[in-house]
Amino acid sequence: MSVKSDLAKWVFASVIKSFETNLDGLTMHVEGEERDLSGQTDWCELRVDGPEMSEISKDLLKVSTEVNVLVATFRDKTSLYRESENIAKVVAALVDEIDIYKYGNAAGDDKSKVGCLKLLPRADLRDNTKIARFGQIDPSVNMFQSTVENHYETVISI
C-alpha cells in the first residue's frame, strides 16, 4: 500500500491515541464503537472527520482533518460548573500538534512517524477552538451536551 492509501487510517488512529493520552479525568469513547453507557456518569465521544487530501505539487500532499468531541455531563446538585470543567478537560486534550504514526495491523504499519498535524487558526474566532453548548437536549435525560472542535492540517511527502 502507498502512504496516500493508508493515510486516513494513520490519521484516525493517531488522533485517537493523542487524545486518549492527553485526556485526564473523563471517560472517552470513539464514535462508532460498541459501548455500554448504563451506570456511567460524564463522558466524551471523539469524532474524526476526514482527512481531506489534495496534492499541492508532485509528491506533496496537503492533509486536513476536523476533530470534534461531544461532551456529556450529567446534571446533579454537586457542581454548577461541572460541564465547564469537562469542556476544559477536552480542550486540554486537544493539543496544538498531533504526530501521525503508521498505526495499524497491516504489513506497512510499523509505527514510524509520517508527519505532524498542526492546529489551524480560525479567522472567525479569537481562539482556535470552537466550543458549542447545547444544554439539555432531551427533557427525560438529566444531561447537558456540548461540543469542542478543532481543525488540523499538515503537508506530507508521498
pLDDT tens digits along 108-118: 899 999 999 99
Of the pLDDT bands very low, low, confident and very high (cuts 50, 70, 90), residue 126 is: low
Residue ranges and CATH numbers for the domains of the chain are: 3-32+39-157 (3.30.2000.40)
Question: 45: closest CA among 84, 86, 7?
Answer: 86
Residue 157 reports pLDDT greater than 90: no
- So what's the pLDDT on residue 125? 59
Using omega within 30 degrees of 0 as the cis cutoff, is the peptide bond preceding 51 cis? yes
Specify the higher pLDDT residue, 33 or 19: 19
pLDDT tens digits along 33-73: 888 777 778 999 999 999 999 999 998 999 999 999 999 99
DSSP-assigned states of every residue in 107-157: TT----EEEEEEEPP-TT-SSS-EEEEEEESSTTS-EEEEEEEEEEEEEEE
Distance CA 88, CA 83 (A): 9
Distances (CA, A) of 12 to 16, 20, 38, 40: 6, 12, 27, 25
Looking at residues 93-117, what average pLDDT do you find? 94
pLDDT tens digits along 74-87: 987 787 899 999 99
* CB-based contacts of 27, cutoff 8 Å, min separation 6: 40, 41, 42, 43, 44
Distance CA 74, CA 152 (A): 30
Of the pLDDT bands very low, low, confident and very high (cuts 50, 70, 90), residue 95 is: very high
Looking at residues 2-20, what average pLDDT do you find? 92
- So what's the pLDDT on residue 158? 80
- So what's the pLDDT on residue 121? 83
- Cα 58 to the center of its chain, rounded Å: 30
- So what's the pLDDT on residue 139? 85
Q: Which helix (H) or strand (E) holds 6?
A: helix 3-22
Of the pLDDT bands very low, low, confident and very high (cuts 50, 70, 90), residue 18 is: very high
Question: 47: closest CA among 26, 69, 63?
Answer: 69
Phi and psi at residue 156, in whole multiples of 5°?
A: -125, 140
Distance CA 47, CA 55 (A): 25
Q: Name the average pLDDT for the chain.
A: 91
